[in-house]
Structure 1
Amino acid sequence: MPPAADTTTPPRTGAGPQTERPASARSSHLGWLFAVAIAVAAFNLRPVVTSLGPLLDQVRTDLGMNPTLAGLLTAVPSLCFALFGFAAPGMARRIGPIAVITAGMAAITAGVLARSFAGGTAVFLLLTALALAGVAVSNVLIPVVIKRYFPEKVGPMIGLYSMSLSAGTSLAAAVTVPLTGALGGDWRVGLGVWAGLGALALLLWVPVMAARRERGDRAGGAAADRLPITRSRTAWAMACFFGLQATGAYVVMGWLPKIFQDAGVSEGASGVLLALTMVIGVPVSFVLPNLAARRGDQRLFVVVLASCGIAGYAGLALAPSAAPWAWATLVGLSNCAFPLVLTMIGLRARTAGGVAQLSAFAQGVGYLISIPGPILIGRLYQATGTWYLPLGFLALLLVPQMLFGLRAAMARHIEDEAARPVAAGVRP
């Protein structure tokens, strides 16, 4: 991994947007430390959620959580990702994105550890929200620091980030229950142990923050403040693409085991099949961003991944027990639209400030779009008693996902679209 570059000159703000370029590189040791810090931070961005799911029944029983509050808990991640994601660029402009990510790692560590001591539902929800706030700002700003400090290696670094995120997601889902059992069976220990990974990430980011010594305006400066991102069609397409792929991903994480169990697959096997859909994202999340970043646009990948999802959902609806491994693999490949959209966020803006705004806008709007999805799927299943209609709806959603993705994947920059003057009666 080449050393991280340090930009010492703010982006030019003359007649047209300029591509941000790094100045001289720092030491190779700092570059390696930065890369490892990014990977470990990414590993911490999903265990907050995926470690809770397998233990949710125990948590509900112990805290006296009613079904309504339990349902609220499942919606909290997307809501926090949206709300705190919108706030991330403003925070980065004040103190720098590295400092915000470091604070995010501290929030994850404190929230995950403290909620394991919560004595009631309200405190548990608040501390979970604290951890998710750290996740949200890091979600938005890690692509920003990649764009800023690894401008020539956006594809490989997004690949490293995505692969680590997928690995953390899979590991927490797979080992939380057996780990809890090995540690005595108490859900508080099983959830609290994940704070150790957050502490490790924090220990890595503190020296990175000290070495970089960023000023707040280094996150993008006044030029980013003036960027009217809502005038960019690419930004809106990216937000819709992000939201639709997140809808599918959250539905799969929440409902796939139930789909297989209703088809006669054992409970243990259904859990393994869910793990497969997540594990397959680990190698693909590393390879895909590298391939996507080498192309002028990424439309081919948008079509291929959506086609995998349509085939996978069709198989689950029509013959779920006939080839469950094939359907799980296809659905897992479809969910790799997540690393693809992260890569496109890094490529569709010229500067780190532009990436900060696009990342916050696409993820904030996108996560808001995704909130109703798992709830609606559950309602459709409850109303019909079968999975034909819910799975058909998921397959249908992949059509607009593909269309928005094709627009977002075109080789354009949001700065060019946002800066274009609007003539009377002509949309930008």
Structure 2
Amino acid sequence: MVKKHWTLSLTFVVISIFFVALNMRPAVTGIGPLFNVLMTSLQVSNTSMSFLTAIPVFCMGLFAPLAVPLQRKMGTKSAITLLVAILVIANGLRFFQASYLLLIVTSFAAGLAIAMIGPILNAYIKKKFPERFTTVVGIYSFGIGVGATLSAALTVTFYQSFSNSWTIALGMWSILAIIALVIWLAAIPSKHNEQLQQVTTSEEVRNPWTSRRAWVILLYFGLQTSLFFSIMSWLTPLLQDKGLSLEASSAMLTIMSIVQMIGNMAVPILMEKWPSRMAWLLVFSFVGMIGFMLLWLTAGIYLWLAVLLIGIVLSGLFPIGLLLPLDEAKNDQEATSWSSMVLAGGFMVSAIIPTLIGICYDLTGNHTWTYLIFVLLMLGILVTTGLLRKK
């Protein structure tokens, strides 16, 4: 009977992790489906719109190192509670005013919260589920994918359902954060705060900042995250530039997100049977090259194929990025510090690319450089895969 109760408790913990993960993208990816709508309404440039993605992503990197001291000071339960509450406020403020400055401020706050949620949950999963952390990380990344899918699918729906009000469309995501907050508080025992503050280890804790391998993992994570945030921000305007309507472009973004969401769950499970990270990365790199070339050079039905392939690639690259630092970690303290470093540097790198795309488009008036940047990112991932093979 005790064993059954323990199993149910762990299941509830996994559910709470999933709901927290749902909230780690909509504050950022909800901008993309309404990119042109916001740009027209706020009367700003493509570059200025890019900042709405770049700022939170940069914050995800800048504040990730604070995850370790916050976790030590508050414990996992209280720390995640505070950070999800910040997401509730950041999304909720968007209800009240159609302001570019408000979007910048709330994007900054969301990025700060997401930055620290990632490393804290990674370490918590490593500690709580040592035998099945690949599967639980898969559920966590699946939750992130579901959140991105929901933002792609429903933001335009909210916009159209509430008299073309983009403030309501963006503010609605505060409700999802409130649900996650309630479930997290109910699922996680308060004693976890005390346990994590008291745990020490006699094992040597390696500094990731002095490890060449950690830097290569950081570069990989930065490239794949650049790819994700850039395509989530720019796919809708790219497709509209090819002559598709807002509804059709949004539908294709939703399809890509659904494929990615399914893959976020399926790929880690498949990796338990075929665990070679490098083999998976090689396959995804070549499939990604095909997908982005189709997106660049084709039209019509081939665009659907391109979006399908890109969704498959994105679905695998992200969970592998989460797993690589955990694979290297020898204990839960290393899991936190390595994940913190990789997420910090990786997100700061990835903040550059969406803004660079906006600048290139404002200067040239076309998306040639956008497609070229996507292809170069895939080449970069292929190069880092080669470097990671040399352990």
TM-score (norm 2): 0.88
Alignment of 1:83-94 (within 5 A): 83-94=62-73
Distance 1:270 1:119 in 2: 24
CA distance in 1, matches of 2:359, 2:92: 34
**Mapping of residues 165-176 of structure 1, within 5 Å:** 165-176=144-155
Q: Is the 8 A contact 1:220 1:353 kept in 2?
A: no
CA contact (8 A) 1:306 1:402 kept: yes
| Aligned-partner residue type, residue 330 of structure 2 | R
The aligned residue for residue 377 of structure 1 is 357
What is the root-mean-square deviation in Å for CA atoms of aligned residues? 2.9
Q: In percent, how many aligned pairs have the same letter?
A: 24
8 Å CA contact 1:220–1:351 kept in 2: the answer is: no
Greater RCO, CA 8 A, separation 6+ = 2
Distance 1:313 1:301 in 2: 18
**Structure 1: runs of 5+ lacking an equivalent:** 4-23, 413-428
Tell me the CA shift for residue 110 of structure 1: 1.9
Range moving further from structure 2, 210-219 or 185-194: 210-219
Aligned 1:335-350 pairs, distance under 5 A: 335-336=314-315, 337-350=317-330
Residues 357-415 of structure 1: CA distance to partner in whole angstroms, max 9, x if unpaired?
111111110111112212333444455555445423422332221232344467x7xxx
- How far is 1:282 from its partner? 1.4
Q: Which residue does 1:292 correspond to in 2?
A: 271
Q: What residue number does 1:256 align with? A: 235
Give the aligned partner of residue 146 of structure 1: 125
Per the alignment, residue 133 of structure 1 pairs with: 112
Q: Partner of 2:58 in structure 1?
A: 79
CA contact (8 A) 1:247 1:371 kept: yes
**Residues 133 and 225 of structure 1, relative CA distance in 2, 3 Å threshold:** farther
C-alpha distance in structure 2 between counterparts of 1:209 and 1:383, whole Å: 50
1:311 aligns with 2:290: yes
Per-residue CA distance 1:133-172 (angstroms, 9 max, x = gap): 2222112222211111011111211111111111111111
- Following superposition, the deviation at residue 42 of structure 1 comes to 0.7
Q: Which residue identity lines up with residue 177 of structure 1 in the other structure?
A: V
| Alpha-carbon separation, structure 2, partners of 1:232 and 1:46 | 30
Amino acid at match of 1:238: I
Return the alpha-carbon distance in structure 2 between the equivalents of residues 40 and 286 of structure 1.
14
Q: CA deviation at 1:281?
A: 0.9
Deviations, residues 180-207 of structure 1 (Å, cap 9, x unaligned): 3334443333222221111111112223
**Structure 2, unaligned runs of 5 or more:** none
- Compared with structure 1, are the counterparts of its residues 329 and 69 closer, same or farther at alpha carbon in structure 2 (3 Å cutoff)? closer
Q: Based on CA coordinates, which of the two structures has the bigger radius of gyration?
A: 1
Which deviates more, 183-192 or 141-150? 183-192
CA distance in 2, matches of 1:65, 1:191: 18
Please, which of 387, 390, 398 is the counterpart of residue 378 of structure 2?
398
Q: Where does residue 18 of structure 1 map in the other structure?
A: none
Q: Distance in 1 between matches of 2:214 and 2:198?
A: 19
Counterpart CA distance in 1 for 2:206 and 2:173 is 39
Give me the whole-angstrom Cα distance separating, in 2, the residues matched to 1:220 and 1:295.
Answer: 34
Structure-1 residue corresponding to 2:303:
324
Deviation per residue, 1:58-81 (Å, 9 max, x gap): 66677x674465443232111111
Evaluate the alpha carbon distance shift between residue 125 and residue 167 of structure 1 in structure 2; reply closer, same or farther with a 3 A threshold: same
Q: Quick one: which of 245, 252, 267 aligns to 1:273?
A: 252
Shift of 1:217: 4.8
- Once the two structures are overlaid, the 10-residue window that deviates more, 323-332 or 387-396, is 387-396
Secondary structure of the equivalent of 2:193?
A: coil
Q: TM-score scaled to structure 1, two decimals?
A: 0.81
Q: Measure the CA separation in 1 of the matches of 2:361 and 2:98.
A: 34
Give the distance between the partners of 1:116 and 1:53, measured in 2 at CA.
18
Q: Which moved more, 1:393-402 or 1:220-229?
A: 220-229
CA distance in 2, matches of 1:80, 1:198: 19
The CA deviation at 1:315 is 1.6
CA distance in structure 2 between the partners assigned to 1:381 and 1:127 by the alignment: 25
| Aligned residue pairs, count | 388
